[in-house]
Each structure stands twice: as C-alpha cells, then as structure tokens.
Structure 1
Amino acid sequence: MMGRSLLALLALALALALAAAPARAHKPSDSYLTLKVAGQQQDGQQIDGQWDIALRDLDFALNLDQDGDGALTWDEIRSQHASIASYALARLSLSSGDAACPIAAGEQLIDHHTDGAYTVLRFRATCPAAGAALGVGYRLFADLDPQHKGLVKLEHAGATSSAIFGPEAARQQLSLRAPGKLAQFVDYLRHGVWHIWIGFDHILFLLSLLLPAVIAPSAMKEAQTLRAAFIDVLKVVTAFTLAHSLTLTLASLQVLSLPSRWVESAIAASVLLAAVNNIVPLFRARRPLAAFVFGLIHGFGFAGVLADLGLPQGALVLSLAGFNVGVELGQLAIVAVFLPLAFLTRRTWFYRQLMSTGSVAIALIAGVWLFERAFDMKVLPV
C-alpha cells in the first residue's frame, strides 16, 4: 500500500510538472546560433555569425516593451538594438587556441520561428590564427532561466556540425575538422531526444491518448492486465510514430509543406480533442487511428523544429534519420515512465481524478493554445 501511495505521489508530481510547463506553449526557451568559419585571412581567421534569439526572452531580460502595453512594436525593438547586441554578445565568447576572437556586432533583423518572433543578430569575429577547434562560451539567460538552451550550428569547409549549450555545458570546443557520418547522426539524435522532451504539446497529446490504456472496458475485464495495457499503448505509440515520421520526412525534404500557423493550431486542436475524449468518448475505441491521423500533423511540427536547426547537405538523410530516431527514443522514455505508474495507480482515486480533472485541465490549456495560435494573440503570461 505504501509503495502504491509513493508511486501515486510520483505520478502526481509528473502531472503537475507537465501542467506547469505548457505555459510556454510549444517549447521552452531556445536560441539558434550559426557560426560560419572562413579560411585564413591576412588579418586572421574570420567567423560570420547569426544569432536568432526569441523576443519574448529578450523582453523578459531587457524590458523591451517600454510602454507596457503587452505588445512589442518594431520601433520599440529598433530603438534598443544596441542594448540587445551588447546584452547578447557579452554572454558569448569565441576563441582559437588560447587566443580570444573579438566580436563586432552587425545588423539586426526580425524573423519568425514556429514559436514566435525572434531578433536576428548578425556579427563578425576575427581570430588571430586558425586552430583545429573553435572554443565557444555560451551564457545567454544563464542567470534568468536555467532551462534555456543554445542550439549551435558550426559550418566550416562545406561541413556542418551542431551542439547544444546550457548551464551544464556552457563552454565547449567545437572541432573544425569535417565531422564523420556517425558523429552527425549522434548530434541530430540528441537534438531529437531534446525536442520531444520539451515539446509539451506533443507530450500532452500522447499522454492524453494513453490514459485510458490501463482502464478496462466494461465488457473486457482482461484488459486490466499489464499485457493488455502494453498492447494498447503499443498500438497508439506505433500509429503516432509511423504518422509523424512520414510527414517529418516529407516536410524536411521539402516534398510537402504547410503554413506553420496552421500546423501549430492543428496540434493544439489535437491535444484538445484527445483530452476531451477522456471525458466524453469521441474515438475511445479508435485511439490508434486518431493517433495516426493527428500524428501526421505533429510530424509537420517536428519538421518546423528541424528547419530551425538546419540539415547538413552532405549528410542530409543520415541527420534526418538521427533526429527521427532521437524523437522516438525520447518518446519511448516517456512511455516507459508512464505505463508502469499508470498501471499501478489505475484503481486509485488519484488516477480517476487524472482521467477527469486532469483531462479537463489539459483541454483548457490546449484551448488557450488554440486561441493563441489561430488568432496570433497572447493569452498566457509567458
């Protein structure tokens, strides 16, 4: 009994974490840093950089919304270009060997990613001499958001490699030698795992479909067994995997594309319907089919993330495969935690509340997401 109570508490903690995390809608704070290393010049080795940083994060750090009306205007952003560049570049350092590479700010633009507007800061650094590796120190938002990640893409001599920076990996040496095929596969595998773990809408959609798996239909008492629950979960997860792998591949290879606003709105709608299905049966007996249909839309969402990262042309298929495998491994890790906890707590008051009240909470959050994404308006505070 004590063990089950402990598991119920662990499951409640997981549910609360998931309920709190979606405040950021699609994903937590990321920035995208591209470093293009040129050959040796007369005055040293030149590095051209582009840094895409979410305006919502910069607004939190620098209070860009000067009139406090909740909306950033181009004039407000443009008037603070110098402050943005100074803030960001003070938290980035580049080096070759033991020598620092001074950084000079360039122009700033605005771009839109799948999760909102970003400032695009361009800069140039010059290293005194070429080295075998480029040292990168990354401390952006380290004092404000310990979950923030910097997704760095390094381009040199026609080859591309990538790395993830955060408080636990704030300084890394990035090799300038052409990465091997296996290294690129592993790089994108890590990106795939990371992005499914921070894709809270994808996680809530999947968990909403899986919640009924451990509850026996009235006419099928045997469905209460772990084996039957496992088979049910396997059907849902397999259908979701096949569907999003298909559209992720087609969209990443630019065979098929949809407007990101439509995709993000449809993903929010899928979370809403999956949660409502746990309260009012819409497709409860056909959840694998629903997982496949909605999974096609989620695949376009994953492709949007991969587009932000970029795919190295020299190992495009292998890197795409690595990202997809990473997504599946991250997804399996979530299911591996969910299934035993759900099965052991399935007859408790907590699980009944999770099915009812929890599903209502998920549906409300998804409804807000849908409104925000469909009408491009801000409702949630972060």
Structure 2
Amino acid sequence: MVFFIIASFSFPTLSHELSNGYLTLKNDSGETLSGELLLKPKDIGQAARLDTNNDGNLTWGEVRKNHNLANSYIQNHLIIRGSETRCTVSVAPPSIRDISAESLLVYPLSVNCALLNEVSVRYTGLVSDFPTHKLLTSITLNEQTSVHVLDSELTFISVSPKNIHWGSQFCEMVYQGIWHIFIGLDHILFLVATLLTVNLLRKSKRWVKERSVKRIVKSTVILVSTFTLAHSITLTLAALDFITLNSRIVELGIAISVVITALNNVYPVIMRLGFVTFGFGLLHGMGFASVFGDLNAQSGSLVMNVLAFNLGVEIGQLAIVALLLPLLILLRNLRLYSKAIMPIASSIIAVIAINWTLQRW
C-alpha cells in the first residue's frame, strides 16, 4: 500500500502532471510595471509549440531560437490593462531558475500603461493544454501587494491599492502555503521518508513492530513538530532577509536530505531522528523561503504574509500526516511491512532523490 502512495507522489515528479507558474508585477512609476512570468519549460513548450522538430525533447537552443513563438503566445494570453487602456507588454528572452525541485523559464516583463491607478490582468494561458494549471500572481502597487491564484475558473483580476484588504490577502497567502506543500514534492517525500519507520522499533539489528499506538503518535508529533519548528525558523528569517543562502546550495541540500533519510530507513545508522530532522528542517525552510520570495510578497504587510504562508505550509503538512499516520498504524501489523514494503518505499524515494541530487549538482 505504501508502495502505491510513494508511486503516486513520484509519478507527477517524472511526468510533470502538476502545472503551475508565477507572475509578479510591481509599479516602477505611474505608467510602468516590471515583473516576471515563470513557467515550466514543458508547459510553455507544448502550448507555444517551441519544440519545432516535434521530437518531444525541448532544448535550450529551441527555447532561445523560438522566443518569438513564446512572445506571441504570452502576448495573446496575458492581457494587462491600466486604469483606461490596454498596456503594452514587452517580453524579454528567458533565463532558468530552480524553484522547489523544478526548473522554470523566467520571462522578464516590461509593461507600459497610460495610467496605473488600477491594474487588471486577464490570463488564459496553458489551461487548454493543462486544465489544472494555476498561475500564482503577485501585484504590487504603491507598496501595497495583492496576491491571487489564476486558473481555468478565475481568469481575470482587478487590483487597486484601495481594494487590497488584509483579510483576503491573509487567506490567499495561507492557500499559497498549502499549494506549495503539495507541489513541493521534495518536501513531501522527506516527510514521508521520515515517518515510514515511526511505526517500527529497531531490535537486534532488525525492524520490528511498534505495539503501542500511543508511542507511534508521540514519535510522530515529536518528529513533525521538530521539522515544523526548524523550517518555520529559517522560512521566517530568510523571508525577512535576516539570512541568505544560495538557492542552488539549498535545493541540493534538500535533495541530499531526502536521500539520507530514505537510505537511513534501509540501513539505519542515525537513530536519534529528532536532531537530524531539525537540521534538515532548517534547509527545507530555506527552500520554502525561496518560493515565498518568488511570490514577491513584500511591502508593509510582509510579516503578515510570512505568518500566513507559514500557516498554510503547516496545514498542508498536517493534512499529509493525517492521511499517512492511520495507514502506517494499520500496516505495522503486516510482517511484510518491515521486510519489504518499507524498504521498497524508502528505496524508491532514495532513487528519486538521487536523481534530484544529480540534476542539482
């Protein structure tokens, strides 16, 4: 059973079923906006037909060579208006940025409008090819940030500094925290790998069933609380710019943390998991902070946005634990669990994480 759970998590990793992107806009003056549109290469490649030789392998050369196709697609599907008329959007050639285990194409945007007392965005990109596509959108006007999620059902938003309400923004940031847990597959697999042995005991160099449900729940609470405390610390400090660390190093460290945790289930060396979970949790918090930073959630409401985003992350994390823990309690009664299911599940996670490590090296 756990094998299929892990397989279901790993399948989107390999097939990229989840489709998500980011749009950030910030006014530089009364008539101009600057920002970025971040999309998965596969998504924009398929939608804008960048893979011109149709070999199913989108290369960096094709991305650069066919920028006119991407530019045309973005111009047709991202309509930005100011207070009176449609704005002119210029799309520069992209670069690549890694966010939460994925490489995204970053298209710099320059937007010219007649008047920017109000900004509206209509986005219809990718949803015809990827119906579940979501665009996480952050618009900053006069130091006031409004955050929204555009998808197939909500394609249009209108923003002005006067209608930005803290309650709606708080809820939106909570939602984004939850969403980023579920698209952050490296964080999910770390959590799953950490909990796969919570229902077992190590005796005479063998894994055996933990008979006490109370001790299983207690161990789970300790590990999850330790992980939560650690990544909350670094998420908050990094989001508030008290600490910084190269995102490439962070993403590499997160991948390695998943490898070590998964392999430790199969070949136990570290038995005091609380200390290790705390240390790795600090790294994962930096990963969440990089995602938070790409939402461009800054301005006077930064502290509130950090708290709301962190709350969303915890809600998403607890939802995963609530689904997994009862299953683990039941599975511990199967002799096959400690001998085959747990080692196989851990090995699958390790293989996926090793692949991430090589990609991020």
TM-score (norm: length of structure 2): 0.86
Label 1:305 to 1:28 Cα distance change in 2 as closer, same or farther (>3 A): farther
Post-superposition shift, 1:222?
9.2
Matched, 1:32 2:22: yes
Q: What residue number does 2:312 align with?
A: 326
Q: CA separation in 2, counterparts of 1:337 and 1:144? A: 31
Matches within 5 A, 1:150-165: 150-165=135-150
Tell me how far 1:95 sits from its aligned partner.
5.7
The answer for the alignment partner of 1:260 in structure 2 is 247
- Deviation of 1:362 (Å): 0.9
Q: CA deviation at 1:344?
A: 1.6
Residues 256-335 of structure 1: pairs in structure 2 closer than 5 A:
256-283=243-270, 285-335=271-321
1:118 equivalent to 2:105? Answer yes
Give the superposition deviation at 1:161.
Answer: 0.8
1:70-149 equivalences under 5 Å are 71-73=59-61, 76-94=62-80, 101-114=85-98, 115-124=102-111, 126=113, 134-149=119-134
Give the letter aligned to residue 316 of structure 1. L
Are 2:331 and 1:345 equivalent residues in the alignment? yes
Structure-to-structure mapping, 1:233-252, within 5 angstroms: 233-252=220-239
How many residue pairs get aligned? The number is: 353
Deviation of 1:350 (Å): 6.5
Q: C-alpha deviations, 1:357-382, integer Å up to 9, x for none?
A: 111111111111100100xxxxxxxx
Q: Distance in 2 between the 1:342 and 1:127 partners?
A: 59
Output the amino acid matched with 1:198. Answer: I
Preserved contact between residue 45 and residue 58 of structure 2 (Cα < 8 Å): no
Measure, in 2, the Cα distance between the counterparts of 1:258 and 1:211.
30
One-letter amino acid matched to 2:25? L
1:213 aligned counterpart, secondary structure: coil
Alpha carbons of 1:170 and 1:342: their partners in 2 closer, same or farther (altered >3 Å)?
farther
- In structure 2, the partner of 1:197 is 182
Q: What TM-score, normalized by structure 1, do the two folds share?
A: 0.81
CA spacing shift, 1:151–1:127, aligned 2, 3 Å: farther
When residues 254 and 48 of structure 1 are mapped into structure 2, their CA distance, relative to the original with a 3 A threshold, is closer
Show structure 2 runs of 5+ residues with no match. Answer: none
Give the aligned partner of residue 5 of structure 2: 14
What SS is found at the alignment partner of 2:300? helix
**Residues 351 and 88 (structure 1), Cα distance of their counterparts in 2 relative to 1, 3 Å cut:** farther
What SS does structure 2 have at the residue aligned with 1:212? coil
From the superposition, tell whether residues 151 and 70 of structure 1 become closer, same or farther in structure 2 (CA, over 3 Å). Answer: closer
In 2, distance between residues paired with 1:195 and 1:129?
30
For the structure 1 residues 38 and 78, does the alpha-carbon distance in structure 2 shift closer, same or farther, using more than 3 Å as the test? same
SS of residue in 2 equivalent to 1:169 = coil
RMSD, matched Cα: 3.1
Deviation per CA, 1:254-294, whole angstroms, max 9, x where unpaired?
222111111111111111111111111121x3111111011
Change (3 A) 1:85 1:213: same
For 1:64, the equivalent position in structure 2 comes to 50
- Displacement of 1:54 after TM fit? 3.6
Taking structure 1 as reference, are residues 156 and 282 closer, same or farther at Cα in structure 2, changes over 3 Å only?
Answer: same
Deviation at 1:182, TM superposition (A): 3.1
The answer on whether the counterparts of 1:110 and 1:117 sit within 8 Å (CA) in structure 2 is no
Q: Kindly, what percent of the aligned residue pairs are identical?
A: 31
Structure 1: stretches of 5+ with no match in the other structure: 1-7, 375-382
